[in-house]
Structure formats: C-alpha cells, structure tokens
C-alpha cells in the first residue's frame, strides 16, 4: 500500500504543471485522501464515526482525559476508547459515516472499543442502544456489542441491546431484518453457548436465567419507534454526509473536547431567528 502511495505521489508530482510548490500541495492532498480511507502506514480502514447530541445532557470522555466534556450541538468525531454518557433526559446518535446510525438512549454508558471496519466493537456498560446498519456496509465485516453479561455479534442490520446493573441483565433484539449471535457470559467472562436471534425475536441473560431461549418480540418492542427514526436518519445521511480530511477532523474533535463548539460546523452558518412582531394594544378608558 505504501509503495502504491509513493508511486501515485510521484506520478502526480510529475504531472503538476506549476512546479515543486504545486507538487507538494498535490502530495498533501493525496496523503489526506489516503488517511481518510484509513490506509495510511498500514493501518486498517477505520470508520469515520461521529457523535451527535439529540437532546438533554450528553457527555464525552477521551481515553487521555480525566473529566467528562459536555457535548454541544456539534458532530464530534470519535476515536477508539472514547466513552459516551447520557443523562436522565439525554439522547444521542453515533454515525458510522453514511452507513449506520446507533441511537444512544437516556441513562446510558457506552464505550467505543475499536472502529476498524473489518472488526468493530462497542461496550455497553449501562442503558440501551438501538442500531440500524446498512446491509452493504456489514457484508463480510464483524460488528459486536459487549456487555458485562453477554456478547452480541451482529450479523444483520436492525438490532437493539440493553444492559441493567440490576441482576446484571442483558437483553438483545432483532427487528425486521438481520440476525444476532447472542453469547451469554458467566461471572468469569466465559461464554455459555451461542443463540441466534432472527427477525422479530429477543433474548435475555442474567445470573438468574439458567436456560436461554429466543422468543418473539415483546419487551423490546418499545424500541420500534426509535428504529423507524433510525431508518429515516440513514436515508438522510446518504444525502448529506460530508467527509472530513484528517486535519479538519482532528481540529473539530479538539475544539469539541475543549467545549469550544456551540453548534455544528458542518451545517453552515446558523439561521437567523425571526423576532415576533409586537402588537401595541390600545388601552381602554373607562368613562366617568
């Protein structure tokens, strides 16, 4: 891959019509293009994942930080080992480019494990996530959600996972399409078998459950409304997604972690709000 990059740079530099300065600019542009595809220095391709606050309190913490940062209206680029937390009124969405939406419910704690396109992992410590992933994006790729009591290996596109610290219970469901390989864990983290969830089924795992069985959707039906929103969001992302260069991505992320972005920088200038017109009322005088 590096050899290909060097050859392309040499070709572009030779074709540049205006001398060495233009060739250097071409080289920088090519480097950014290669990096944005995750192919730099032999690194596996990575998802350009971004966090978007929807409502309420949403917090983000990088692996290097000791404190949580309150997320504003901006889309924040995510890195491996980031942690996301929502408050009692908070909700957020994680975008995997224009190929997937993961809704993060209120009172949820989620860790980003890896963002490699070939083998991605999220860690759900508390709360619920509801995900819609494009079929093409998941073809021949691995995507898993790990909780303290189960591992969900996603083989399809529409699913939800919940985890409660009460009884250390994990629930998983598949909606209209796809499948999930559900593997309960014992207290030592050892897998207790594998159970396949097909469309319109759900399953639960906890210390109190001795026999695991997939059943028809019932308790997890409450997430069906969010799944419908996810489908709409994916369609919108196909039209509106804007790739970022590595330099721009890093700048947006640094600013967001410092709390310097108050609105999204990807949507252009804010719209001016119309001031309501004031209507003067005539005071009525009472006759004497």
pLDDT greater at residue 195 or residue 2: 195
Q: How confident is the model over 212-225, as a mean pLDDT?
A: 96
Q: Is there a contact between 144 and 152 (Cβ–Cβ < 8 Å)? A: yes
Is residue 206 classed as helix, strand or coil in its secondary structure? coil
- Is residue 281 over pLDDT 50? yes
Q: How confident is the model over 103-124, as a mean pLDDT?
A: 97
Question: Do 33 and 118 share a domain, yes or no?
Answer: no
> From residue 112, how far is each of 1, 69, 186, 235, 276 by CA, in Å?
27, 16, 23, 24, 44
Question: Do 190 and 221 share a domain, yes or no?
Answer: yes
Does 273 reside within a domain? no
Residue 60: its pLDDT value, please?
A: 96
Does 133 reside within a domain? yes
Does 232 reside within a domain? yes
Residue 169: its pLDDT value, please?
A: 96
Q: How confident is the model over 268-285, as a mean pLDDT?
A: 53
Does 258 reside within a domain? no
Question: Do 7 and 76 share a domain, yes or no?
Answer: no
- Is residue 24 over pLDDT 90? no
- Is residue 287 over pLDDT 60? no
Question: Do 80 and 143 share a domain, yes or no?
Answer: yes
**pTM for the whole structure:** 0.77
Domain coverage including residue 168: 49-240
Does 87 reside within a domain? yes
Residue 238: its pLDDT value, please?
A: 94
Buried residues in 78-101 as b, exposed as e (16+ CB within 10 A): bbbebbbbbeeebbbbbbbbbbbb
Complete DSSP assignment for 112-148: EEEEETTEEEEEEEEEEEEEEE-HHHHTT-EEEEEET
Does 286 reside within a domain? no
Q: How many domains does the chain have?
A: 2
- Is residue 156 over pLDDT 90? no
Q: What CATH number does the domain containing 77 carry?
A: 2.60.120.1440
- Is residue 198 over pLDDT 60? yes
Choose the weakest-confidence range: 77-86, 125-134, 137-146, 179-188: 137-146
Question: Do 66 and 139 share a domain, yes or no?
Answer: yes
């Amino acid at each position: 891959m590096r050899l290909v990059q060097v050859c392309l740079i040499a070709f572009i530099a030779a074709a540049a019509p205006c001398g060495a300065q233009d060739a250097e600019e071409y080289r920088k542009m090519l480097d950014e293009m290669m990096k944005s595809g995750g192919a730099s220095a032999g690194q596996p391709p990575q998802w350009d994942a971004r966090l978007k606050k929807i409502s309420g309190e949403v917090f983000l913490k990088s692996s290097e930080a000791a404190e949580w940062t309150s997320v504003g209206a901006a889309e924040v680029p995510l890195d491996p080992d980031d942690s996301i937390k929502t408050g009692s009124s908070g909700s957020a969405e994680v975008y995997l480019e224009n190929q997937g939406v993961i809704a993060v419910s209120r009172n949820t704690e989620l860790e980003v494990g890896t963002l490699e396109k070939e083998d991605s992992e999220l860690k759900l410590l508390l709360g619920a996530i509801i995900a819609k992933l494009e079929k093409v994006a998941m073809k021949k790729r691995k995507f898993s959600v790990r909780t303290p009591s189960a591992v969900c290996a996603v083989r399809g596109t529409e699913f939800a996972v919940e985890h409660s610290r009460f009884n250390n219970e994990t629930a998983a469901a598949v909606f209209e399409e796809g499948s999930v390989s559900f593997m309960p864990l014992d207290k030592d983290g050892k897998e207790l078998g594998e159970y396949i969830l097909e469309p319109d089924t759900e399953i639960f795992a906890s210390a109190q459950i001795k026999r695991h069985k997939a059943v028809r959707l019932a308790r997890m039906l409450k997430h069906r409304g969010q799944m419908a929103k996810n489908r709409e969001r994916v369609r919108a992302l196909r039209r509106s997604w804007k790739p970022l260069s590595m330099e721009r991505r890093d700048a947006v992320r640094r600013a967001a972690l410092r709390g310097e972005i108050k609105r999204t920088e990807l949507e252009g200038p804010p719209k001016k709000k119309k001031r309501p017109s004031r209507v003067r009322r005539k005071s009525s005088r009472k006759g004497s």
